[in-house]
Amino acid sequence: MQVRVLYFGVLQELFGTAGEPVELPDGATVGALVRVLRDRTSNQAMGAKEQERLWRSIAVAVNQEYGSPGAVLREADEVALLPPVSGGRDEGKQGMSQGLKPWVFGAFDVRAKARTYLRRKSEGHAD
């Protein structure tokens, strides 16, 4: 079966694309897809600890709905992988970056981010 994977944020850089089709066996789960994709990035420049932290904090949406690791994927599903967002600036540390923070997603947050991404793509934006 084939699903369409959309990458957001740092994952676009890691995979070198905003999205791609991925072949999986019938009955594959969200967790299985994430493992397949994670294995494809295991030799990248990012350190092992950074990569582990990134993959543990990714939120997944399937067809614009929150997708748990056990959710079964179907042919032509659209799977969005949403990494943590940057933390911004800490006022007490003279402008030092806080680094990556996990972003807790509810179904609404995932749908809103996916809708914004798809709208921007349809308008011709490159991100």
* Domain range summary for the chain, segments of one domain joined by +: 2-122
Q: How far apart are CA 29 and CA 43, in angstroms?
A: 24
> Residue 91 CB: number of other CB atoms within 10 A?
7
* Contact (CB, 8 A) for 3 and 77: yes
Question: What is 2-122's CATH topology?
Answer: Ubiquitin-like (UB roll) (3.10.20)
pLDDT, position 124: 78
Stronger pLDDT, 126 or 14, i.e. the higher one: 14
DSSP assignment letter at 99? -
Cα–Cα distance list, 83 to 5, 34, 36, 61, 100 (Å): 13, 12, 16, 11, 9
DSSP assignment letter at 60? E
Length of the chain: 127
82-120 pLDDT, tens per residue?
A: 988 755 444 443 333 333 333 334 444 555 666 676 677
